[in-house]
Amino acid sequence: MTERFRTIIEPFRIHSVEPLRMTTADERRRKIREAGYNLFALRAEDVLIDLLTDSGTGAMSRDQWAAIQHGDESYAGSPSWFRFLEAVRELFPFRHVIPTHQGRAAERILFSVIAASGKVIPNNTHFDTTRANIEFTGGEAVDLVIPEGREPRTIHPFKGNMDLDALGALLARRAADVPVVFLTVTNNSGGGQPVSMANIRGVRALCDRHGVPLFLDACRFAENAWFIRMREAGYADKPVADVVREMASYADGMTMSAKKDPLANIGGWLAMNDDVLAEKCRNLLILTEGFPTYGGLAGRDLEAIAQGLKEAVDPDYLRYRIRSTEYLAEALDRAGVPIVKPAGGHAVYVDARELLPHIPPLSYPGQSLAVALYEAGGIRSVEIGTVMFGRRADGSEAPAALDLVRLAIPRRTYTQSHMDYVIEAVTAVAAHASELYGYRIVDEPPQLRHFTARFAPL
Ligand SMILES: Cc1ncc(COP(=O)(O)O)c(C=O)c1O
């Protein structure tokens, strides 16, 4: 029946609702000033549509809430752990699975073991916590996405691909210093763009040639698999789970934040085939996260993730998910708002540098736009640009490759009319772009400054 019609609907109906608090523009201007113009410092109740992140902010299903009731809180060997382990291995059949409270805990453990001063870790684009965890050990994090991945307007089906020539050259020079090659699927910091199966295979071949392991930062594995299915020859009819398993088959391990595609509000894991590495990682896990059959998680969290993993590869869900992101992107594009094209999986990225050419990168055009969207429409977004990436490990500051504002879409949370409101508000702010002004940072921490920095308007 439904295949006769073009409209792609939310493949669920609403079972319980959360109220949204309406605020006035005056109230929002006051709130953001009090927050030091940092959107992370706002109270969530003062936000109308929260597109800060898709991480842990999605709606769980009826079946996930039901699974939570099966949570077994035994310290060791809980049945919830075994259900989690089975669900993870169904998609990612690595020998060792180490649960963690979220993705960055997996990163911290892994890089504490394998990274150090003098080591270099390439990725298509490191996410901020990945880069920070590498740099914290003294190691060097290098981004080697294909050139198209740095060009907001260039259309390419797999803009998250690794630049194989650049990776090959790095490995030819320094393979002995590279403890692991990472590939982030989809490439969050580069616009949520997918990586093709051919590219994953290509990275694998280079890793084999130089004897270096390959790990996936697989937070958005299901969205990446859906793009492969839509855009890469030979995959259109394959079950999503098979595409995911093939992606995993080229890797030696992975880090995961279960707050993304696994459809949970918290959780993550580190997985690998290497027995010696796993032993070292488990020892660190026990030190800070917990016993290896729960990591930093409650049994009920393990249950929610296990059920979420089954729902994440449902084609009806992924069709709606990817289409709703495209819907927002297409409307903004039609309205003349410069965005990264094509749309990413989990977010639409507005090109603030292009929209606000009168604000130089070191006056943070992305921050300016993000503040304006909140003041005008109560929409919370996040700057992904010079605020996030501009501070170098040596203390100097330089413009990031791009100054973007990310509108991240929580999974199964907002409806099409919420998105229509976002389209109207962003379009209205963009129409007055020339009136926006830059910011300076008045206070910042040594790492991950975007979370807690305070700003003042210029
Ligand atoms: C690509 C990528 N890697 C790692 C992380 C870190 O995960 P977590 O927030 O669970 O620590 C994120 C979170 O946004 C991410 O997008």
Instruction: Give the dihedral sign, CA 373/374/378/382.
Output: positive
Name the residue among 338, 65, 88, 387 with its Cα closest to residue 218. 88
How many Å lie between the centroid of ligand 1 and the Cα of residue 126?
Answer: 10
**Digits of tens for pLDDT over the chain (458 positions)?**
457 888 889 999 999 999 999 999 999 999 999 999 999 999 999 999 999 999 999 999 999 999 999 999 999 999 999 999 999 999 999 999 999 999 999 999 999 999 999 999 999 999 989 999 999 999 999 999 999 998 888 999 999 999 999 999 999 999 999 999 999 999 988 889 999 999 999 999 999 999 999 999 999 999 999 999 999 999 999 999 999 999 999 999 999 999 999 999 999 999 999 999 999 999 999 999 999 999 999 999 999 999 999 999 999 999 999 999 999 999 999 999 999 999 999 999 999 999 999 999 999 999 999 999 999 999 999 999 999 989 987 889 999 988 999 999 999 999 999 999 999 999 999 999 999 999 999 999 988 899 999 999 99
How many Å lie between the centroid of ligand 1 and the Cα of residue 98?
Answer: 16
Question: What is the full DSSP assignment across 35-73?
Answer: TTT-GGGS-GGG-SEE-S-SSS-SPPPHHHHHHHTT---
Residue 184 CB less than 6 A away from ligand 1: yes
Report how far residue 271's alpha carbon sits from residue 112's, in angstroms, rounded to the nearest whole number. 15
Which whole-number Å values give the CA distances from 424 to 345, 381, 399, 405, 432, in the listed order? 21, 15, 30, 16, 13
Strand partners, 142: 122
Q: Which atom of ligand 1 is nearest to the CA of 267?
A: 10
pTM of the model: 0.94
How many Å lie between the centroid of ligand 1 and the Cα of residue 6?
Answer: 34
Report how far residue 132's alpha carbon sits from residue 110's, in angstroms, rounded to the nearest whole number. 13
Report how far residue 342's alpha carbon sits from residue 351's, in angstroms, rounded to the nearest whole number. 13
Q: Specify the residue for token string 């772009």.
A: 433
Q: Which atom of ligand 1 is nearest to the CA of 106?
A: 11
| Residues 168, 109 contacting (CB under 8 angstroms) | no
Residue 218 sits at the vertex; the CA angle it makes with 124 and 298, to the nearest 5 degrees, is 145
- Residue nearest atom 5 in ligand 1 by C-alpha distance: 103
Report how far residue 370's alpha carbon sits from residue 257's, in angstroms, rounded to the nearest whole number. 25
How many Å lie between the centroid of ligand 1 and the Cα of residue 55?
Answer: 7
Neighbours of 120 (CB within 10 A): 18
Note the pLDDT of residue 152.
Answer: 86
Report how far residue 243's alpha carbon sits from residue 249's, in angstroms, rounded to the nearest whole number. 10
Report how far residue 36's alpha carbon sits from residue 34's, in angstroms, rounded to the nearest whole number. 5
Tell me if the bond preceding 186 is cis, omega within 30° of 0: yes
Note the pLDDT of residue 63.
Answer: 98
Interacting residues of 259 by C-beta distance below 8 A, sequence separation 6+: 55, 56, 57, 102, 103, 219, 265, 266, 267, 268
Note the pLDDT of residue 191.
Answer: 83
For 135, phi and psi rounded to 5 degrees?
A: -65, -30
